[in-house]
Structure 1
Amino acid sequence: MADWEGVNEFVAVVESQSFTGAANRLNTSVANISRRVNALEQRLGVKLLVRTTRKVSVTEAGESYFRHCKPLLEGLMSAELAVTQLQVAPKGLIKVTAPVTFGEQALAPILHQFLKAHPQIELDVMLSNQKIDLVQEGFDLAIRLGQLDDSSMMARKLLDRQVFVCCSPEYLSTYGEPHTLSELKRHQCLRGSVRHWRFSDGGSERVININGRLQCNSGYALVDAALKGLGIVQLPDYYVQPYLESGELVELLSDYRGNREGIWALYPQNRMLTSKVRTLIDYLVEAFSQYGK
């Protein structure tokens, strides 16, 4: 009869590429992960992992064992979910990460309503503008903005955003208005975390390097600088829309306005989508379909 002890821990270490990541994912200690993997190796009589102070490598035997164990674990999880989801409401902890401003303004109120609707679910929410490794850090779900570049994740669109280039009337009266993308190099551009802006030029994307006296990773701070006439800013609608409507900011280069970008819910494609996470994603899709209406 097959012995499953240590198999789940071993698969988690391989997928996380670390014992710490596996411990976070399985909500246990690193010592417990190490103990179970050691016991598994002793039972099999073969070395599955090579551990150093910097990284964990998988041996040839470990690669073969992982390929056989992974679908078996997924099948077992699928069988358990098929049974439990028929009997109980979604429950348990969901770890979510999202960008700071979008998380504070748009996501948090929806998550709070979700908690009211599902009293057996707990949320651990980390707002960060850094792209966190979901598998290694044990997160179930990430909210990402704009273009996606991680093919190892499954994605479901929640809504779209529009990015605007704008400045204050005070800045326009002092420095004039740029009418072409090439003119931006002569202007004070308020930079975020990157040194380029994206535009649509005749249906094709153009990336323009920009310069300016101020760089800051806070959208709120950049909006304040633009309102004070310090330069031109490129930011999503949820930062600047109220000021565009009030006339405190003026849109520039509207002919080069880029296409609307997606806001996405991401989760690892090699992880079973549990009932609680699926319920949350469905709730977010429905809630954001009404967003701004």
Structure 2
Amino acid sequence: MDGWEGIEEFVAVARTGSFIAGAASLGVSRTHMSRALARLEDRLGAQLLHRTTRRVLLSPTGQTFLDHCIRLVQERDEAVALIRDQGEPRGDLRITCCVALGERFIAPVARQFAKQHRQLTVYLDVTDRTIDLVAEGYDLGVRTGNLPSSDLIAAKIASRRSRTCAAPAYLERMGTPEKIADLNEHDCLTGTTLQWHFSEKGDEILYRPRPVWSCNNGYAVLEAARDGMGICQLPNFYLNDAVQSGQLVPILEEFAPPEEPIWSVYPDKRHLSPKVQRFVAALKGTLPKAMARPD
């Protein structure tokens, strides 16, 4: 018996909500659909659909199974298209990235990518939770810094630099720190990063500030620094405008940390997928310029 039997039929019925519409979408008869679904449920030993006189509903088992079946069908179609050298991205592209990068940089790239590839549906999950790409069915993640050891494929797509800054009014009131240890005597403003990064004579130095204000939103930390509440360390894309306008002053520049890499990471089975290849290329072509410090 064909291991694929019933999979595509199940997806079609689940998506359209009826056997008749599902059969029409595949160009087969309603009888074929019913028999294929019945045999699939027999093989699984589980009921996937609740059938009523008016509509078809997914069982809890069917809902769980559906997500896997959709990806199976999409990956089959992508593999066939790749071999045929058609290569047009199609199906779903599921991306995850942190909030700081996602809202300002990744979302515009993903939006433009969706406009260019009309056979593709792009899902962007902006969250600071570290998502298991394989277990949760994501095609691609965007991550920063040193990556933990894993089976994921990583490609560097850009880098970002952080600076330590404070408002002129704060520095006039509290003085300007000359050494990293001087931060112990200052008011610090922190975000999601618990440790600040510095570098001295090529060695990385980690400093754990004791904040007077902390928020998991970089713009809120930026506004606190502008308001003269204390010293912050943030990526340049938060700080550039405020530094250029004189609202913030960079400090401890001789101890500035090296650039932090930004990676695209994806499961190894996705590396030949046209949608992943092209989106990674779009990120590489867009992010470095978007995140560059203005002249």
TM-score of the two chains, using structure 1 as the length reference: 0.71
- Kindly tell me: are residues 214 and 77 of structure 1, through their superposed partners in 2, closer, same or farther at Cα, counting changes over 3 Å? same
1:131 aligns with 2:130: yes
The separation in 1 between residues aligned to 2:178 and 2:157, in whole angstroms, is 33
Give the deviation of 1:117 after TM superposition.
1.5
1:288 aligns with 2:287: yes
Give the deviation of 1:112 after TM superposition.
1.6
SS at match of 2:212: coil
Aligned alpha-carbon RMSD (Å): 2.9
- Kindly tell me: are residues 273 and 168 of structure 1, through their superposed partners in 2, closer, same or farther at Cα, counting changes over 3 Å? same
SS at match of 1:158: strand
State the partner residue of 1:46: none
Aligned length: 232
Give the deviation of 1:264 after TM superposition.
1.2
The separation in 1 between residues aligned to 2:214 and 2:230, in whole angstroms, is 11
- Kindly tell me: are residues 222 and 36 of structure 1, through their superposed partners in 2, closer, same or farther at Cα, counting changes over 3 Å? farther
The separation in 1 between residues aligned to 2:87 and 2:161, in whole angstroms, is 40
- Kindly tell me: are residues 177 and 290 of structure 1, through their superposed partners in 2, closer, same or farther at Cα, counting changes over 3 Å? closer
State the partner residue of 1:279: 278
The separation in 1 between residues aligned to 2:78 and 2:107, in whole angstroms, is 30
- Kindly tell me: are residues 269 and 127 of structure 1, through their superposed partners in 2, closer, same or farther at Cα, counting changes over 3 Å? same
**Structure 1: which 5+ residue stretches go unaligned?**
9-34, 40-75
1:237 aligns with 2:272: no
State the partner residue of 2:155: 156
Give the deviation of 1:289 after TM superposition.
4.4
Q: What aligned pairs does 1:1-293 form with structure 2 within 5 A after superposition?
A: 4=3, 80=80, 82-84=82-84, 86-87=85-86, 89-269=88-268, 271=270, 273-291=272-290, 292=292
The separation in 2 between residues aligned to 1:194 and 1:101, in whole angstroms, is 12
Q: Deviations over 1:9-44 (max 9, x none)?
A: xxxxxxxxxxxxxxxxxxxxxxxxxx79966xxxxx
Give the deviation of 1:82 after TM superposition.
4.0
Identical pairs, percent: 33
Whichever residue aligns with residue 167 of structure 2, its letter is: S
The separation in 1 between residues aligned to 2:184 and 2:265, in whole angstroms, is 36
The separation in 2 between residues aligned to 1:205 and 1:238, in whole angstroms, is 22
The separation in 2 between residues aligned to 1:81 and 1:275, in whole angstroms, is 9
SS at match of 1:134: coil
SS at match of 1:173: helix
SS at match of 1:112: helix
The separation in 1 between residues aligned to 2:188 and 2:104, in whole angstroms, is 25
Give the deviation of 1:225 after TM superposition.
0.5
Whichever residue aligns with residue 156 of structure 1, its letter is: A
Moved over 4 A (4+): 2-6, 35-39, 76-79
- Kindly tell me: are residues 188 and 283 of structure 1, through their superposed partners in 2, closer, same or farther at Cα, counting changes over 3 Å? same
- Kindly tell me: are residues 233 and 290 of structure 1, through their superposed partners in 2, closer, same or farther at Cα, counting changes over 3 Å? closer
Q: Deviations over 1:146-174 (max 9, x none)?
A: 22224332111111111000010011011
Instruction: Pick the structure with greater CA Rg.
Output: 2
Preserved contact between residue 100 and residue 129 of structure 1 (Cα < 8 Å): yes
Whichever residue aligns with residue 235 of structure 1, its letter is: L
SS at match of 1:151: coil
Preserved contact between residue 98 and residue 128 of structure 2 (Cα < 8 Å): yes
Whichever residue aligns with residue 136 of structure 1, its letter is: A
